[in-house]
């Protein structure tokens, strides 16, 4: 892994102004990575350690609270948000391998505490330190290439929250271009939703199925061997549909490829 400024990252959002020589990162694992695909968490740890970070994983974390937030349950969301903020105080950065969860932490926590000035202030300080993994590597740590190898053609889906809440689009492509042996083949409408939408996909399965069906068609058109994205929810949705359709396209989180950790079976794939 090379970095334009590994020891002196542009820490615009860091409190205190001084850039720690070895940034201390708290990994927000995300519930789906914790439960379904721990390898993504270890890939994230490797990428950040390689870039000169000290990575810790606070035990007092479960989920970012989106299921409650998007179901209109403000009280439970607020309780979860408060405990996440508490668990991650004392880190230079909070990084999540998901645009959706990072977006929740960075963009929505503050609005939960409109009526609580003290908590709101803490939420604002917290939000300023939150980043999604890939954009953290490129935009904060200045990482410009990775030391990884992957034989095959990949296509990349832009997950909605990462794209539209956090502006993540060029960053993963930039790093993927430095993976040895990997060729990127863009799909049509890579910025269109895959139909996951959290609880949406089980509340409105017929509509979700129609949307993911359109998505898998555009994925298949690329002729790619592997589908990559930065959000496990979207990935599980698309992997589940691709498997049901019987296609051989593998599905992986982009961090696995960037970290060169693709020895485990792909998402939804069995033991080889």
Partner 1 sequence: MQITSPGFKENARTALDDAPLQRALGNVRKGFIEKRAKASAALPEFDLLRDNARDIKDHVLAHLDLYLEAYAEKVEAAGGHVHWAETAEDARRIILEICRQKNARTVTKGKSMITEEIGLNDFLEEHAVAPVETDLGEYIIQLRGEHPSHIIAPAVHVNKDQVEADFRRVHTHLDPARNLEEPTTLLSEARAVLREKYFEADIGITGANFLIAETGTSVIVTNEGNGDLTQNLPKTHVVVASIEKIVPTLDDVSQILRVLARSATGQDMSVYTTFSTGPKRDIDPDGPEDYHVVLLDNGRSSMLGSEFQDMLRCIRCGACMNHCPVYHAVGGHAYGWVYPGPMGAVLTPSLMGVDKSGHLPNASTFCGRCESVCPMRIPLPKMMRHWREREFSRNLTPATARYGLGAWAFFAKRPALYQAATRLAMAVLGRLGRSKGRFSAMPLAGGWTKYRDLPAPEGETFQAQWAKRRTAA
Using CB under 8 A as the binding rule, the residues of this chain from 167 to 196 that contact partner 1 are 191-193, 195-196
Site for partner 1 contains 230 (CB under 8 A): no
Shortest reach from residue 67's CB to partner 1, in Å: 6
Cβ within 8 Å of residue 23, ≥6 positions away: 9, 11, 52, 53, 54, 92, 93, 141
Candidate residues 141, 175, 219, 239; the one interacting with partner 1 per rule CB under 8 A: 239
Among residue numbers 18 through 57, which ones bind partner 1 (CB under 8 A)?
Answer: 29, 31, 33-39, 41-42, 57
Cβ within 8 Å of residue 31, ≥6 positions away: 62, 63, 64
Ramachandran bin of 142, using left for φ above 0, alpha for ψ from -120 to 50, beta for the remaining angles: left
Closer to partner 1 by Cβ: residue 76 or 89:
76
Among residue numbers 107 through 166, which ones bind partner 1 (CB under 8 A)?
Answer: 160-161, 164-165
- Tracing tokens 């980043």 back to the chain, one arrives at 131
Cβ within 8 Å of residue 231, ≥6 positions away: 98, 99, 100, 159, 161, 162
Site stretch for partner 1 (CB under 8 A), options 1-9, 143-151, 171-179, 206-214: 206-214
Site for partner 1 contains 218 (CB under 8 A): no
Cα–Cα nearest to 23, from 33, 37, 11: 11
Candidate residues 10, 90, 152, 205; the one interacting with partner 1 per rule CB under 8 A: 205
Element (H, E) at 250: strand 250-253
Candidate residues 199, 217, 221, 223; the one interacting with partner 1 per rule CB under 8 A: 199
Classified as helix, coil or strand, 234 is helix
Copy the structure tokens of residue 77: 């969301």
Candidate residues 236, 249, 255, 261; the one interacting with partner 1 per rule CB under 8 A: 236
Candidate residues 18, 72, 117, 118; the one interacting with partner 1 per rule CB under 8 A: 72
Closer to partner 1 by Cβ: residue 51 or 211:
211
User: Distance (Å, rounded) from C-alpha 55 to C-alpha 222?
Assistant: 36
Closer to partner 1 by Cβ: residue 78 or 122:
78
Shortest reach from residue 272's CB to partner 1, in Å: 10
Classified as helix, coil or strand, 151 is strand
Helices (H), 97-191: 99-103, 109-112, 117-128, 133-135, 160-166, 170-176
Element (H, E) at 31: helix 31-35
Candidate residues 17, 118, 202, 248; the one interacting with partner 1 per rule CB under 8 A: 202
Candidate residues 17, 18, 59, 263; the one interacting with partner 1 per rule CB under 8 A: 59
Among residue numbers 240 through 259, which ones bind partner 1 (CB under 8 A)?
Answer: 240-241, 243-244
Closer to partner 1 by Cβ: residue 16 or 263:
263
How many of the chain's residues bind partner 1 (CB under 8 A)?
A: 71
| CA 201 from centre of chain | 19
Site for partner 1 contains 80 (CB under 8 A): yes
Site for partner 1 contains 261 (CB under 8 A): no
Site for partner 1 contains 83 (CB under 8 A): yes
Helices and strands: H and E segment counts in the chain: 14, 10
């Amino acid at each position: 892994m090379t970095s334009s400024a590994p020891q002196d990252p542009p820490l615009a959002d860091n409190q205190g102004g001084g850039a720690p020589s070895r940034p201390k990162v708290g990994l927000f694992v995300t519930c789906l990575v914790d439960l379904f695909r721990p390898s993504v968490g270890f890939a994230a740890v490797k990428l950040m350690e390689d870039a000169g970070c000290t990575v810790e994983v606070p035990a007092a974390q479960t989920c970012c609270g989106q299921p409650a937030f998007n179901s209109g349950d403000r009280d439970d969301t607020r309780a979860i948000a408060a405990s996440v903020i508490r668990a991650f105080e004392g880190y230079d950065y909070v990084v999540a391998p998901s645009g959706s969860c990072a977006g929740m932490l960075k963009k929505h926590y503050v609005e939960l505490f409109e009526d609580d000035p003290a908590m709101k202030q803490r939420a604002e300080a917290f939000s300023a330190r939150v980043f999604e993994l890939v954009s953290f590597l490129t935009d904060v740590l200045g990482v410009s290439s990775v030391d990884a190898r992957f034989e095959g053609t990949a296509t990349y889906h832009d997950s909605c929250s990462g794209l539209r809440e956090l502006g993540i689009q060029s960053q993963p492509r930039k790093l993927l271009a430095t993976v040895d042996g990997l060729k990127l083949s863009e799909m049509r409408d890579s910025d269109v939703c895959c139909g996951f939408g959290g609880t949406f996909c089980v509340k409105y399965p017929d509509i979700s199925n129609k949307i993911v069906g359109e998505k898998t068609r555009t994925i298949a058109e690329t002729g790619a061997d592997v589908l990559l994205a930065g959000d496990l929810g979207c990935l599980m949705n698309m992997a589940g549909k691709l498997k049901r359709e019987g296609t051989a396209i593998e599905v992986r989180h982009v961090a696995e490829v960037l970290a060169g950790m693709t020895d485990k079976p792909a998402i939804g794939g069995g033991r080889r």
